[in-house]
Chains A and B, each alone.
Chain A
Amino acid sequence: MSISVDLPELGESVLEGTVSRWLVKEGDAVELDQPIVEVTTDKVDAEIPAPVAGVIEALLVAEGDVVEVGAALARIGDGSGASAAPPAKVAPQAASAAAAPVTAPPPPVAPAADGPRATPVARKAAAATGVDLRAAEPTGAGGRVTRADVERAAAAPASSPSAAPSAASPAPAAARRSRVPDFGHYAVQEGDLVTPMSPLRRLVAQHMVFSKQNAPHVGTVAEADLGGVSAVRAAAKSAFRESHGISLSFLPFIVHATVRALRENPQLNASVVEDSIVQKRDIHVGIAVETEKGLVVPVVRHADRLSVAGLAAAIEDLSSRARSKRLSADDLQGGTFTVSNPGRKGNLYGFAIINQPQVGILRMGEIVKRPVVREVDGSDAILIRPMMHIALSYDHRAVDGSPANAFLWRVKDLLEEADFDV
């Protein structure tokens, strides 16, 4: 026995709301009147309370979704799980089966519009696990497939879908049998170490999938001679440690060059917002930091207003607070570009995944002494220089090759000029 939590009527002119935040997750026990979700309308921010006590069986909409008044937001059951038998779905299924063939012929991998009704959460889960939504038995409101249904389908052996296709549409239904196989499936074996993902790990994973699915990444790489930076750093290092109490790494120099190059190439300091590209006035640089709990990206605000010393101090402050888990939500928000420094060894270069909703991320490679050819006094010479690859991933929706290259070239240029005041 389960009960649907719908977006209540808030007044006659309130027709829809945006799900701003879930306060519970699937499987959570809730009490009567406990707020379970925040919904923002143009009139009011409302916390929607649970109409009954029970267990959240399914979240039917995702954060950011716009839902109409009366639409089901979640389903609350009595916790027995199995007893939450899917209601008789014969009519809706027949209806959708009858309606679907009109749009035939279906493409081999049917887009969402052509598939069965499903919640956005379920669609994401289906995309992530490779489950065909048509293979899932819908138990949601209005015959919609929920995430739980997708998970059940993912766990089930790849047999035929439970419900026989309606006789109204035998041919298309048969064509649809050729399902996308579950490439991600792995049956856990004895001796395997199974570690459930932490909430942070899950969030990182979802963010990575989202970014890769939505932003066509292009990578480009340059090589910078850090000899000049090295010299500046070596000269300033001990005095810097004495006056600031922290060591001076290469990172603040790289960030400094990056923000100057961003100032000159604002296409890279942008976001894709629906059908627009938004160039941001401010430059807030995210610094990817690996902590024992996972990857976090605290943000140096107004990084373009800081000197190398200021950047060093800000980065040191953020990364030490990241490691001691004292970052506030504010520290993690609002980045407009990201610099990733994943450590020196085993890292000639590599392309990072863009930190959405930004359009670019710069990834530092290892710094290695290499023989390079330089012109010295009018003739070519082989010199030994500390070299670093800098790899830029950019979102080709917003940025084309030449501005991206121009930006990266400028970063390299600034690093090689090494005109830094410390």
Chain B
Amino acid sequence: MTLATEWLGTVRYGEALALQEQAVIDRRAGRTGDRLLLLEHPAVVTLGRNSHEEHLLTPRAELRARGVDVHEIPRGGDVTYHGPGQLVGYLILDLEPRGRDVDRLLRSIEAALVDAAGELGLAAGTLSGMTGVFMRGSEQTESKPTGRVPARKLASIGLGLRQWVSWHGFALNVSVDPADFGDIVPCGLHGVEMTSVAAELGARTPAELGSLARHAVERACTEHLG
């Protein structure tokens, strides 16, 4: 299976949603192969249908006044934030030839992001029982919101399936300021703290981190998902 990757630049959330819907239809109809759409969103908070209002920590009006879009989406899942400095990857994959195995797909995405983080000089890993990619060393915290050190989350993963074609995908925090997540409890996970590649690298952050990260993700995804 080949995976075509495309860099779309900065795309508003609503627009990207429409784009994905079309991409799913095209994939289902066989007009395209499997695709990875890479892009960034302007600052946006999304709320799924099952979102807990209390996980949105700042009133909508205030967010909008600050220029942060608030977008309600017809899917499950909780509150998420996307914004500049975050590399978003939408995976339009037909799962039929992949054995309809969501588990395997999620593990492949995680593995790809762990590899990409490694290429950027970070020791990342996964946590059992939690989807996503975390900084290694935060494994012992597990998912419980106890008094322990919170797990530092580098990338979030959230998939949708429509007629066995996947959509949505992952968001890797490249240079996004972890404070930008302050308006939400990410994905409803207490005891998880957002971090970013730049925040972890600190002074070691290269000037061209944005494009380096994009190429690392492209390579890793092609390897693990292609």
Which positions in A face B, CB cutoff 8 Å? 8-14, 18, 20-21, 33, 35, 38, 40-47, 49, 280-282, 301-302, 329-330, 334
Contact = CB atoms under 8 A, between A and B. Distances in A.
Contact of A47 (B60, B104, B131, B162): B162
B145 to A, nearest CB: 15
Contacts of B50: 20, 40
A42 B50 CA distance: 12
A47 to B, nearest CB: 5
A14 B101 CA distance: 10
Contact of A12 (B75, B103, B162): B103
Interface string B6-49: 00000000000000000000000000000000000000000001
Task: Indicate the size class of the contact surface on chain B.
Answer: 20 to 34
A354 to B, nearest CB: 19
A330 B72 contact: yes
A45 B75 contact: yes
A38 B76 contact: yes
Contact of A281 (B54, B76, B103): B54
A155 B106 CA distance: 49
Interface string B101-119: 1111110000000000000
B49 A10 contact: no
Q: Which are the 7 A-B pairs with shortest beta-carbon distances?
A: A11-B103, A40-B76, A46-B161, A10-B102, A11-B102, A44-B159, A45-B76
Contacts of A45: 75-77, 159-161
A189 B49 CA distance: 44
A302 B76 contact: no
B180 interface: no
A280 B59 CA distance: 14
A282 B103 contact: no
Given A35-B163, A38-B76, A45-B77, A302 B59 contact: yes
A301 B60 CA distance: 10
A44 B103 CA distance: 9
Given A43-B103, A301-B59, 17 more contacts: A10-B100, A10-B161, A11-B105, A13-B103, A14-B102, A35-B162, A40-B50, A40-B76, A43-B159, A44-B102, A45-B159, A45-B161, A47-B163, A49-B163, A282-B53, A302-B59, A334-B53
25 contacts: A9-B100, A10-B102, A11-B103, A11-B104, A18-B76, A20-B76, A33-B163, A35-B163, A40-B77, A41-B102, A43-B102, A43-B103, A43-B131, A44-B102, A44-B159, A45-B159, A46-B102, A46-B160, A46-B161, A47-B160, A282-B53, A301-B59, A302-B61, A329-B72, A330-B72
A329 B73 CA distance: 11
A45 B159 CA distance: 6
A46 B72 CA distance: 18
A11 B101 contact: yes
Which of A9, A20, A46 counts the most B-chain CB atoms under 10 A from its CB? A46
A266 to B, nearest CB: 14
A43 B160 CA distance: 9
A47 B103 contact: no
Interface string B162-176: 111010000000000
A280 B160 contact: no
Contacts of B103: 10-14, 43
B100 A44 contact: no
B45 to A, nearest CB: 13
A21 B49 contact: yes
A161 B218 CA distance: 65
A210 to B, nearest CB: 19
Nearest to A278: B54
A280 B100 contact: no
A319 B13 CA distance: 30
A105 to B, nearest CB: 42
